[in-house]
Structure 1
Amino acid sequence: MADFFAIGGDSLLATRMVAELRQRLGCKASLRQLFQHPQLDDFVASLKAPAAQTPTLLRLTSGVGKASLLCLPTADGDIGSYRALARNLDGRLSVYGLQDPESNLAAESLDARLERYGAAIADAESHERERIILLGWSFGASLAAALAERLEREGRPPSGWSCSTRCRCTASSARGVTTRIASSA
């Protein structure tokens, strides 16, 4: 399988490719789809699939560690900001992202959002090796804290959680986070 970014794709090339697909083929391709599905065959399949209406658990990387990292979405429901972190973990942990196409901060309470996330979180728990570590930044930080508390009340406490209201997972910041997460796994 060819990964768009692993074979040299970047955000500028992605933008041009999506524009060409829209113009030449009339399809409803989006950058979000490409970032969600960097494997090109998965990306093509996503163009044919109906739009998701519920939170979706996406595997960003597979790992050999005894823990799985669950990345919670930012305010726009996206998880693309975690891809650099996932790549920099070098397979030490499995990394999942919870993509939420219906994210609407104004129309939904935090409790209602966490309720919608229930099935996807249970799916992550079923994939875990031994434990789950929650991770969020920006609005995802609030989600990580609230979710950790909720899972604790339900008797399913996460192994740990980490969040920041100011950290964006760029390649350089991911290396530091990678070290801290990998050492806790």
Structure 2
Amino acid sequence: MSYYQHPSAIVDDGAQIGEGSRVWHFVHVCGGARIGKGVSLGQNVFVGNRVVIGDNCKVQNNVSVYDNVTLEEGVFCGPSMVFTNVYNPRSLIERKDQYRDTLVKKGATLGANCTIVCGVTIGEYAFVGAGAVINKDVPAYALMVGVPARQIGWMSEFGEQLDLPLQGGGEVICPHSDARYVLNGKTLNRLSTQ
């Protein structure tokens, strides 16, 4: 085994877990899950069958990653945050054929106790604040807070808020990484550092 599995964790046959990953106390990984290298699954995490978790993701305690959720490389899922996969669930009506895909792109942060309503895409390096409810797509680098969530700013790849308006134009350098970001309309891009 090229990953660590705590004795209390259950990893079903068929699950793929990459080298150097850590599966902590009371975790359950279903047999169809695909988990990358260097991933940390905190205490009491559940990972469904149709889930992909990229390299170097951190899934903190008490998170359930349900079917049809994809986490790209370097995603952070804060403690007790919530994914869903059915938009209008009812206990008495079977809707397993109506799962909606949720995609969380590279480097995004999902704060503690936030909720991600199924069917959305969260852009690269977006930052969802603690307790926010995401019910629509989130742009790359956007800082989202509230219920329902609204954008209040922009975040660098380093995880620092950038001094830019929500839309229009502008350019700023992250004080921690010296990376340069350019705002064009409602889209923020990091300039190449070649």
Q: TM-score range by the shorter chain?
A: under 0.3
- Larger RCO, structures 1/2 (Cα 8 Å, 6+ apart): 1
Higher percent of residues as helix: 1
Find the structure with the greater CA-based Rg: 2
TM-score, structure 1 normalization:
0.26
Identify, as 1 or 2, the structure richer in strand. Answer: 2
